[in-house]
Amino acid sequence: MSVETEVKTAPEAQFFNLDSQLLAQGRYDNRVAKTDLLKLIVKVYASGGENALHMHKYEDHAFIVLQGEATFHIGAEDDIKVLTKYEGVMIPRGVCYWFVSSAPENLVMLRAGAAEQWPPDGRAFPDGRPFHGKSIENKEVEMIPLPGQFFTA
């Protein structure tokens, strides 16, 4: 009688940079690294770009501003904080928020998210209904790159 042993391969380190396309209009997600528990995304928003009030049911996440300015609305509309370069916010799962790119230049943020599971319905409206990021409800507009212009750290 033989006993089978499961051989697990160790995960490999991932090296990345934060270089990302700048925009004339819209928003862009540059996924720079991912494991089964953690995702790192450089998010770029043209001036005035915004998203809508939502929450993440399974994910704790943080934003760190690398360029520009972000005006965050956390929970109630009167809980507003303006973040500038090298400032950030940690948002636990279940907390409702939205933000807007509030400076003339592009908003560039590093987003780190961690979760034990990544179901497709992880993003939701405050009432719990599924909320897709690429939707008109989320103020999705056509992305127009600024030719040859990039954020570089």
Q: What is the mean pLDDT of residues 119-134?
A: 86
**What is residue 11's predicted lDDT score, i.e. its pLDDT?**
86
pTM for this entry: 0.89
What burial class does residue 2 get, using C-beta atoms within 10 Å of its C-beta: 0-12 exposed, 13-18 middle, 19+ buried?
exposed
Please list, residue by residue across 29-50, b when 16 or more beta carbons sit within 10 angstroms of its beta carbon and e when fewer do: ebebeeeeeebbbbbbbbbebb
| pLDDT above 90 for 119 | no
Q: Can you spell out the DSSP letters for the chain?
A: -----PPPPPPPP------EEEEEESEEEEEEEE-SSEEEEEEEE-TT-B--SBEESS-EEEEEEEES-EEEEESSTT-EEEE-TT-EEEE-TT--EEEEE-SSSPEEEEEEEE-S---TT-EE-TTS-B--SSSGGGT----EEEEEEEE--
* Euclidean distance between CA atoms 97 and 99, whole angstroms: 7
Q: What is the mean pLDDT of residues 88-97?
A: 96
pLDDT band at 131 (very low <50, low <70, confident <90, very high): confident
Query: Which one is predicted more confidently, 75 or 88?
Result: 88
Sheet holding 88-91, edge to edge: 27-34, 38-45, 107-114, 60-67, 88-91
Residue boundaries of the structural domains of the chain = 22-126
Q: What is 22-126's CATH number?
A: 2.60.120.10
* Euclidean distance between CA atoms 117 and 20, whole angstroms: 27
**What is residue 48's predicted lDDT score, i.e. its pLDDT?**
84
Query: Which one is predicted more confidently, 27 or 9?
Result: 27
